[in-house]
Amino acid sequence: MTERRRCHWLALALVAFLLAGCGDSGESDALLTDYQQRLAESLGLEPPAPERPDNIGSFPDKRERLLEIPETRDGLLNVYALRECHITNLVAERNNQLGRVAPASQRWLYELELWRRLDACWNSEVPERLSDADRERLARLTETKAEQLPRVSWNALFDSSEWAGSFSRASSPLSPEETHPHGDQLAALAYLRDATLHQFDPDWQPDSATLEGHLQTLQTRPFSAELLRTLMLAEQRLEEASELLEHALQRRCSRLSGFPEALHQSPEYARLQDWLTRLEETAGSWLAAIDELFAAQVEGPDAVADYRRRWLSPEASEAPLQAFAAARERHASLQESLARRCR
């Protein structure tokens, strides 16, 4: 290695170290920039100066991501008239001080239980014993709560700090050893999806402790944000490396040294490819699980739909997963073109 190239590589290492201290780099960036250095050496070129990757977009503000639900108001005497529906105590609990400050997830459980009691009451013999006005009130209240429940379910998820925290911009890329989500985070996504799909199923019984436990599981780490930042980091470093290959394609093959055999046979290259493959597989399964959770929900606000399409889509070309996959495919194609040209 020439003295000039050695100094250049030390400068790049210093930049990578400084970026790691900012929480925007780390072991994954070191693995990628090391590959850039080895590739540059095999091509007889100077390695690129790695640029700082962009951060993910901001998750929509609370007021932008929640659905409006009109408050249902009725007099105590009217509620008491429906006492055979066993909703009196439930309404009283909701209207007390603790009920008014309950988290959105608990408000969803309350609305779910209220609708179930109303629905069971409507399909019983009770309406026959009610006055016309009370029977009409029961029908209207049952229908209203049924219409509102999917919106309450949406707010239960998108008003939770655990879910919003999954997309925190104050996050770092995953290390090569942290490709998989921690603990039962995938199971948590599956439970939240099932809870949404089965909320109108009388045979499905919700459990407050289980619901809160799964939300807490998501809070153990902002895996969605970390995964997206890792995809963006890898995409950028691969694109920078692809520029080396494009430059090499314009030069004579005699300038190559150890490309591609020596480069591809190194353990560092094998580790990189293994990590990139695991990263793509994990991102595919994680984003698919999030997509299924979204699909189970009622249609949300435009701000959330835009965020989902731009950052969380498993298929959109501008979203991080497909952008990373395209960068990886382009890089492999350029390698093949150069190797075929210089056989």
d(CA 116, CA 198): 12
Q: State pTM to two decimals.
A: 0.87
Residues in Cβ contact with 123 at an 8 Å cutoff, skipping those fewer than 6 apart: none
pLDDT for residue 90: 87
Examine the pLDDT at 2 and tell me if it is beyond 90.
no
pLDDT over 90 (residue 74): no
Please say whether the beta carbons of 238 and 326 come within 8 A. Answer: no
Tell me the chain's radius of gyration from C-alpha atoms: 28
> Cβ-count burial of 331 within 10 angstroms (0-12 exposed, 13-18 middle, 19+ buried)?
buried
Instruction: Name which of 205, 232, 214 is nearest 289 in CA terms.
Output: 214
pLDDT at 213 over 50: yes
Q: pLDDT by residue (tens digit) across 135-165?
A: 999 999 999 999 999 999 999 999 999 999 9
**Measured distance CA(338)–CA(89) in Å, rounded:** 75
Q: What is the DSSP string of 246-269?
A: HHHTTS-GGG-SSTTHHHHTSHHH
Distances (CA, A) of 108 to 31, 73, 206, 296: 45, 17, 10, 16
CA distances from 59 to 225, 233, 297, 302, 314 (A): 10, 19, 18, 12, 18
Q: Examine the pLDDT at 7 and tell me if it is beyond 60.
A: no
Whole-number pLDDT of residue 127: 94
How far is it, in rounded angstroms, from Cα 131 to Cα 296?
A: 38
Spatial distance between the Cα atoms of 146 and 68, rounded to a whole number of angstroms: 15
Within 13 A of 114's CA, how many CA atoms are on the CB side? 27
Q: Hey, how many other C-beta atoms are within 10 angstroms of the C-beta on 261?
A: 10
Residue 111 has pLDDT above 50, yes or no: yes
Q: Enter the DSSP assignment of 328.
A: H
| 3-class DSSP state of 195 | helix
Task: Quote the tokens at residue 307.
Answer: 């965020």
Most confidently modeled range among 71-75, 199-203, 255-259: 199-203
Q: Is the pLDDT of residue 205 over 60?
A: yes
Find, among 194, 197, 190, the residue nearest to 218 by Cα.
190
CA–CA dist 31, 272 (Å, integer): 7
Distance CA 256, CA 251 (A): 9
Residue 12's CB: how many other CB atoms inside 10 A? 18
Helices within 123-220 (DSSP H only): 126-129, 132-158, 161-165, 185-197, 208-219
280 closest CA partner among 311, 321, 309: 321
For tokens 């963006």, name the residue: 232
- Do 12 and 53 touch, CB atoms closer than 8 A? no
Q: State mean pLDDT over 170-194.
A: 92
Q: What local confidence, expressed as pLDDT, does residue 182 receive?
A: 78
